[in-house]
């Protein structure tokens, strides 16, 4: 991939500020994601969407993404459902299916970070950052 700085493997997670394209992720967040509300359609909104889902996973254990009822039924909150659905057009279908299939396997209070398939969040971010860089959405001087 041209014009992208890749950290030496193994890399950590974007949550730990050690993602594969961490520098580009940080620049993209600074330049393309507003302080509140949705980002511009396309790659920027896809990045905001997966980052919000990742934030709820790593910071809250999906306590906001899932609504669990007394009868044990679990549904995705509509705010997150919209973001997850938005990703469908920006993520390869096999990766999107893996993500959708992984989400219901995680329950609040029953999370073991790493090794449970949560790397799918970072792989989606990798794909989105590659799209952002390839489409030239970052200011030139920031992608040496």
pLDDT digits (tens, 9 = 90+) for 107-118: 766 666 666 788
**Alpha-helical runs (H) found in the chain:** 22-32, 43-60, 78-87, 93-102, 119-134
pLDDT of residue 32: 97
Per-residue pLDDT for 7 more than 50?
no
Question: In this structure, how many other beta carbons lie within 10 angstroms of the beta carbon of residue 24?
Answer: 22
pLDDT of residue 109: 62
The pLDDT of 83-99, averaged and rounded, is: 97
pLDDT of residue 111: 65
| pTM (2 d.p.) | 0.86
pLDDT of residue 121: 95
Per-residue pLDDT for 124 more than 70?
yes
Per-residue pLDDT for 142 more than 50?
no
According to DSSP, residue 7 is labeled P
pLDDT of residue 140: 65
Cα–Cα distance between 82 and 39 in angstroms, integer?
14
Question: In this structure, how many other beta carbons lie within 10 angstroms of the beta carbon of residue 34?
Answer: 10
């Amino acid at each position: 991939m041209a014009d992208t700085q890749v950290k030496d493997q193994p890399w950590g997670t974007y949550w730990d500020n050690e993602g594969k394209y961490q520098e580009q992720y940080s620049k993209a967040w600074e330049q393309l994601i507003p302080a509140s509300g949705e980002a511009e359609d396309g790659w920027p909104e896809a990045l905001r969407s997966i980052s919000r889902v990742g934030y709820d996973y790593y910071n809250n254990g999906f306590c906001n993404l899932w609504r669990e009822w007394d009868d044990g039924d679990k549904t995705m909150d509509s705010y997150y459902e919209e973001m997850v659905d938005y990703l469908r057009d920006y993520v390869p279908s096999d990766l999107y299916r893996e993500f959708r299939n992984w989400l219901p396997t995680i329950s609040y209070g029953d999370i073991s970070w790493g090794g449970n398939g949560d790397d799918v969040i970072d792989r989606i971010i990798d794909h989105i950052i590659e799209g952002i860089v390839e489409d030239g959405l970052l200011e030139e001087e920031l992608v040496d």
